[in-house]
Structure 1
Amino acid sequence: MCPMNGASEREIVGDRIKVWFRFVPREGWFPQDTEGLWATRLSADTARVDNVPFLQDGVAQGDVVRFRTDDDGLHWATGRISTSGNCAVRVVPIPSGPLGRSPEKVHERLSDFRLGGEVFSAEFPMVAFDVPSGTDFAALKRLLVRGQDEGWWHFEVGSGTEAFWSA
């Protein structure tokens, strides 16, 4: 979630913290240059990511990251120290396509894979999917490409593993 979308930047719930990532905004994309992801604190400077990133590349749900805490109490990611084997895939339905602007229809098309995911917003119905390591990556990639070719959606892989790319 982006700082503008609600939860307090320093919010801590139990052993869960928000770890912030900085990145260079992409042209023609969202203007944000940070994204906060919920994480479970594992040590004074490490945490396991608990949700799927909408904007940050190179990290997936379940990955362990190192962070530093600034003077304001914000936890800033400094790098990934281990991977979960999960991938992060983002799908944006094409409004003029057969799914319209419906994130529910995106979920329905991908339901055979039993993927967890989150919707960015009603205004921009991007779905960020957590793709577990045991998923049939080849079949998923075929469906994602087919959907893009047939005008259902655009998609991108925010974090892919070697197993994903080689499938």
Structure 2
Amino acid sequence: MKNNHPITKMEIKLNPDDWHGLVRETLFVTELGSNRYRLENTPFLAKGVSNGDEVAAVHSKRGLVFSKVLKHSGHSTFRILVEESVTPTEFQQQWLKLERLGCTCEDVEGDIPLFSVDVPPSVMLEKVLSILDEGHERGIWTYEEGHIGHPQSAAK
């Protein structure tokens, strides 16, 4: 069945006092009707939302602006910042462990080695956290939680 819902962009306001210093992030959303939208990519910086979440928005001069989560999708989001001294091969070896579990990632275009990691509901969160911790302990990356959408009993 073909999806006839249009994909557009939505802004999510960020705290400029956070480490990134940015005031907004733009995500792709699918319009579901009745002021409902589904996030179609994994946030890099926004907290409290994940890929697939249904959200509401308000219209502004700049376009759609996120207002609240209507329904979480069960996905969890992490972001990893690769350490400068790490080679692409070292990163890839550690990343493949997450990919084999079913995680996907998006990277920031440019010079910042920042990745947003999507953890689908079918992936065991404990295993993801273990691999993220291992990568941190090995000096490959630092990471932070963007949103835990898995049931809290699945968390460490």
Place the TM-score, normalised by the shorter chain, in its bin. Answer: 0.7 to 0.9
The residue that corresponds to 1:111 in the other structure is: 99
The residue that corresponds to 2:130 in the other structure is: 142
Deviation readout 1:33-61 (Å, 9 max, x if unpaired): 10110000011411000000011000000
Specify whether residues 89 and 142 from structure 1 end up closer, same or farther in structure 2 by C-alpha distance, changes over 3 A only.
same
TM-score by length of 2: 0.86
- The runs of 5 or more residues in structure 1 that have no matched partner are 1-13
Moved over 6 A (4+): none
Equivalent residue runs for 1:17-96 within 5 Å: 17-27=8-18, 29-70=19-60, 72=61, 74-96=63-85
- The runs of 5 or more residues in structure 2 that have no matched partner are none
Say how many residue pairs are matched: 151
Equivalent residue runs for 1:151-166 within 5 Å: 151-163=139-151, 166=155
Q: Secondary structure at the match of 1:121?
A: coil
- Mapped to 2, the partners of 1:23 and 1:90 lie a distance apart of 15
TM-score by length of 1: 0.81
State percent identity of aligned pairs. 22
Q: Report which of the two has the higher share of strand.
A: 2
- Mapped to 2, the partners of 1:63 and 1:17 lie a distance apart of 15
